[in-house]
Amino acid sequence: MRPVPRWALLSSGCAPVLLVGGWVIAGLLQGPAYDPATQTISVLGAYGAAGFWVMTGALLALGVCHLLTAWGLRPAALAGRVALGGGGVAAFVVTLLPAPSSGGSLRHGSVAVVGFTLLAVWPVLAADRGGAAPWGLRPAPSLVATALMGVGAVWFLIETHRHGVPGVAERLVTCIQSLWPLVVVASCLWYPHSDEPSK
């Protein structure tokens, strides 16, 4: 099995820190008018938002992290690595098409959906279906990760429709999506045979 470079632990570990740190700092800059339970992360990155540059910078850095992790995650199936990298590219595009200060944006929403979908399916696409594999690349955990992201997305849609707490649902899903690459990289690095050359 091809080894995973140790720097992938840094790129995958920085992803959730940058994402959560970005929305926390941008939310503080936005002030009490912003409600993280009922408002989405996109509001923080909207034109005119007080934390616009913080959230934009966090999303750009998140995209870089996903691209680097996809590059370094050599034991994963190519389709999964491409999907993870595509999720990183979608983070770049979302920053180029920020949500307006009020109302929705079809372009922003479409890119966000594409990015979410890529990041939701990459665990299943990256799974090793033959022979022994690190825990994070086995079919069962990969399927559970994708299913959790799917359930979170359904919850987000329900909360958005009923004007409930879509911000909470969105944050839960994006946390899972940003943490899973770290889980996979760590499982590869700690796998007993991950440092042996492939035969």
Contact residues for 67 (Cβ-Cβ < 8 A; gap 6+): 85, 88, 89
- pLDDT per residue, tens digit, the chain (199 aa), is 568 999 999 999 999 999 999 999 999 999 999 999 999 999 999 988 999 999 999 999 999 999 999 999 999 999 999 999 999 999 999 999 988 867 677 888 899 999 999 999 999 999 987 767 899 999 999 999 999 999 999 999 999 999 899 999 999 999 999 999 999 999 999 887 534 433 3
Distance from C-alpha of 85 to C-alpha of 93, rounded to nearest angstrom: 13
| Tokens describing residue 186 | 């760590």
Chain mean position to CA 42: 14
| Tokens describing residue 145 | 């990760």
CB-CB neighbours of 156 under 10 Å: 23
**In the chain, what are the domain boundaries?**
7-189
| Tokens describing residue 108 | 């922003």
- For the whole model, what pTM was predicted? 0.90
User: Phi/psi class of residue 138: alpha, beta or left (left: φ > 0; alpha: ψ in -120 to 50)?
Assistant: beta
Q: Scanning the structure block, which residue is given the tokens 């996809």?
A: 70
Query: Which helix (H) or strand (E) covers residue 158, if one does?
Result: helix 139-161
Distance from C-alpha of 72 to C-alpha of 112, rounded to nearest angstrom: 24
Q: Is 103 exposed, middle or buried (0-12, 13-18, 19+ CB in 10 A)?
A: exposed
